[in-house]
Amino acid sequence: MARILSTIKKMLLGILLLAAAACADDNEEDLMPQQSPQQCDTNTVTFSGSVAPILATNCYACHAVNIAEGGVVLSSYSGVKAKVDQGRLIGAITHAPGFVPMPQGAAKLSACDIEKIKKWVNDGALNN
C-alpha cells in the first residue's frame, strides 16, 4: 500500500511539474489578451447626432427642462449653448478644478464622449 501511495505521489508531482512548465512561458497578455480600445470618431460631431444623445443619456435626469436642477437646462440647444458660452460645460464634464464635477454623484463621462463634446465646442458649438 505504501508503495502505491508513493507511486501516486510521484505521478501527481510529475503532472504538476508538467503543468507548471507548460505555463512558464505564458504571460498575462497571452493568457488574457487585451482588446484594442475602440476608436473615438470625432470627424463628424454634431449637436443633434453626437452631443444631444450624450447629454440625454448622462444629464437629462437632473437637467431636463422640467427638472432643471440648479437652473441648468441641457435638454435644449439654447440651454447647452448658454453653458458653453459661460465656459462651464467643459469644466464640469472634465472635472476641472473649480467646477462642480458632472454628472454629479456618477462616473465621469467616457473619454470619447468628452472628446466629442470638446470637438463640438471647439468647432463653434453649432446647432447642427
pLDDT(61) > 50: yes
Quote the DSSP letter at residue 126: -
Q: Can you say whether the dihedral through the CA atoms of 30, 31, 32, 35 is positive or negative? A: positive
Rounded-to-integer distance, Cα 1 and Cα 121, Å:
81
Rounded-to-integer distance, Cα 86 and Cα 121, Å:
12
pLDDT(114) > 50: yes
Phi, psi of 13, deg, nearest 5: -60, -40
pLDDT band at 9 (very low <50, low <70, confident <90, very high): low
- Is 0.75 topped by the overall pTM? no
